[in-house]
Amino acid sequence: MTPHPITFLLAEDDDGHASLVQRNLERAGLVNGFLRVRDGQELLDCLATQGTSQGLALHEAIVVLLDINMPRIDGIETLRQIKSNPDMRRIPVIMLTTTDDPREIDRCYELGCNVYITKPVEYGGFIDAIRRLGLFLQIVQRPRTGRA
């Protein structure tokens, strides 16, 4: 069984953080696709155009990685919008942030995030989480890809 192609959609305003995430995903061999945007607005635009010529392919399985502190639309608002949109709420979301405030973590889980990881990232743990999520994702996404 070949791993299903997954595209990681990272919203992160810090270039360094974005680069680190990408490097670790690549090193773990998990990356088929990687797309980085600079804030929540861009990410939502990207998801909204999925399936159109300039957007992501419709069959692509997506995992969203969200920073919280971002200009324009922040991570929590982005999460809320994704999870309250019937077309998007199946998309797994990993929160990647510098805050380990329990209230913030609770809020993200309440809003429906799948994994919450605190930066500075222990990349070993980070990759494990991604792998588990990938497995879960394959199971979840299979009927959909079958149809596609």
Partner 1 sequence: MKPRRATILRKGLLVLGLPLLYQALFIGLLLKRQHDHNDAQRRAVHTKDVLLQTDAIFQHVLTSQSDLRAFVLTGNETFAEELASAEAAAAIDLATMVGLLRDNPRQQAHFAEVASLIQTWLDFERVTTARMRASDQQGAIQDIKDLKGKKFMDQLAAKIEAFRHIEEKLDRERLDELARSSNLQNRLLVAGLVINLAVGALAGVAFSREIGARLHAVAANTHRITRGEELPPVVAGSDEIAELDGKLHVMADDLSASRRRERVYQETLEHRAADMNRANLDLDLKNQEIEMFVYSVSHDLRSPLVNLQGFSQELGLARDELRRLFADKISPLSCERAKALIERDVSEPINYIQAAVTRLSSIIDALLRLSRAGRVEYHPRLVELAPVVARIVASLRGSIAKCDAGVTIHSLPSVWADPAAAEQIFANLIGNAINYLDPNRPGVIEIGTVDRPVEGMVSPRTCFVKDNGLGIAPAYLPKVFAIFQRLHGDVAVGEGVGLALVRRVVERHGGRVWVESEEGKGSTFFVALPRSSETSPLPGVAPRKESIIVRARAA
Q: Would you tell me which residues interact with partner 1 (CB under 8 A)?
A: 13-17, 19-20, 23, 27, 38, 69-71, 98-99, 101, 119-121, 123
Give the Cα separation of 11 and 141 in Å (integer).
Answer: 22
Q: Which is nearer to partner 1, 49 or 69 (CB)?
A: 69
Q: How far is the CB of 83 from partner 1 (least distance, A)?
A: 19
Q: Which is nearer to partner 1, 15 or 87 (CB)?
A: 15
Q: Which is nearer to partner 1, 87 or 101 (CB)?
A: 101
DSSP assignment string, 59-120? T-EEEEEE-SS-SSS-HHHHHHHHHTSTTTTTS-EEEEES---HHHHHHHHHHT-SEEEESS
Q: How far is the CB of 120 from partner 1 (least distance, A)?
A: 4
Q: How far is the CB of 121 from partner 1 (least distance, A)?
A: 7
Give the Cα separation of 17 and 97 in Å (integer).
Answer: 10
Q: Which is nearer to partner 1, 6 or 96 (CB)?
A: 96
Q: How far is the CB of 49 from partner 1 (least distance, A)?
A: 21
Q: Which is nearer to partner 1, 22 or 141 (CB)?
A: 22
Give the Cα separation of 124 and 111 in Å (integer).
Answer: 26
Q: Could you give the C-alpha distances from 6 to 80, 110, 111, 127, 145, in angstroms and in order?
A: 22, 25, 23, 14, 12
Q: How far is the CB of 28 from partner 1 (least distance, A)?
A: 13
